[in-house]
Amino acid sequence: MIDSTGKYLTKTFNVTVNKATELANTSTISATSINLGSSIKLTAKATGGTTPYKYVYFYRLRGALDWTALTGTTTATTCTHKPTKAANYQYAVRVFDVTVK
């Protein structure tokens, strides 16, 4: 902009851009031992990165190579699963932030 005397007026601003904090997966599980017929509840939690977060929940029989997805990519912060047989299972929560396409 030009002032009434024909001179420019400029205002400058200094901005510090900080590095985003690293994404951390702080998800939890309701129990590490249950009886057949009961369910476990996975709770997805994350810190850092760039919100909003998305999640995928998985399970497998302990020792198996392949994971089975309990959900697709979701914004739901909980997932419940009822195992169908008495065995040792592993559960996992994968966390994504908006930087992952």
| Residues 35/41/47/52 CA torsion (nearest 10 deg) | 160
Report yes or no on 49 lying in a domain: yes
Q: What is the pLDDT of residue 19?
A: 80
Domain of 51: which CATH number?
2.60.40
DSSP string, 24-51: EE--EES-S---TT--EEEE--EESSSS
Percentage of the chain exceeding pLDDT 90:
76
Section 90-98 average pLDDT: 95
Report whether pLDDT(48) > 80: yes
Q: What is the pLDDT of residue 101?
A: 61
- Total domains in the fold of the chain: 1
Q: What is the pLDDT of residue 7?
A: 78
Report yes or no on 32 lying in a domain: yes
Q: What is the DSSP letter of 17?
A: P
Task: Please report how many Cα atoms fall inside a 13 Å half-sphere around the Cα of residue 23, on the Cβ side.
Answer: 18
- Chain mean position to CA 33: 24
Report yes or no on 71 lying in a domain: yes
pTM: 0.80
Report yes or no on 72 lying in a domain: yes
Q: What is the DSSP letter of 19?
A: P
Report yes or no on 6 lying in a domain: no
Report whether pLDDT(89) > 90: yes
Report whether pLDDT(63) > 80: yes
End-to-end CA distance of the chain: 41
Q: Which domain holds residue 85?
A: 24-96
